[in-house]
Amino acid sequence: MGIKYEDEIVEIVKRALVEDIGYGDITTISVIGDEYIEASGEFLVKSDGIIAGLDVVWLVFKTIDPGLNFVPYVSDGDEVKNGDIVGVVSGDVRSILSAERTALNFLQRMSGIATLTNKFVKAVDGTKAKITDTRKTAPGLRLIDKIAVEVGGGVNHRFGLYDMILIKDNHIAVAGGIEKAIERCLKYVKEKNVDVKIEVEAQNLDDVQKVLKIGGVDRILLDNFKIDDLKKAVDLISGKFEVEASGGITLENVRQVAETGVDYISIGMLTHSPKALDISLEIKI
Q: Nearest-5° angle of CA 84, CA 85, CA 89?
A: 165
Active site residue 168: yes
Nearest residue to 281 (alpha-carbon basis) of 10, 70, 15: 70
Identify the active-site residue in 201, 207, 244, 263.
Answer: 201
Among 272, 230, 274, CA closest to 134: 272
**HEC sequence for 189-215:** HHHHCCCCCEEEEECCHHHHHHHHHHC
Q: Which segments are annotated as binding site for substrate?
A: 101, 134-136, 158, 168, 201, 223, 246-248, 267-269
- Which long-range contacts (C-beta less than 8 Å, at least 24 apart) are formed by 120-125? 120/154, 120/251, 120/254, 120/265, 120/267, 120/270, 121/152, 121/153, 121/154, 122/153, 123/251, 123/254, 123/255, 123/258, 124/254, 124/255, 124/258, 124/265
Q: Is 201 a known active-site residue?
A: yes
- Summarize the annotated binding site as residue ranges: 101, 134-136, 158, 168, 201, 223, 246-248, 267-269
Marked catalytic residue, from 14, 136, 184, 255:
136
DSSP line for 24-75: --HHHHHHHTT---EEEEEEEE-S-EE---HHHHHHHHHHH-TT-EEEESS-
What angle in degrees, to the nearest 10, is found between the helix axes of 93-123 and 54-64? 160
The active-site residue, picked from 20, 62, 78, 101, is 101
* Phi, psi for 189 (deg, rounded to 5): -60, -40
**Strand spans (E) along 165-260:** 165-167, 198-202, 219-223, 242-246
Is the CB of residue 260 less than 8 Å from the CB of residue 231?
Answer: yes
Q: Which of 55, 92, 199, 223 is catalytic?
A: 223
Is residue 232 flagged as an active site residue? no
Q: List the catalytic residues.
A: 101, 136, 168, 201, 223
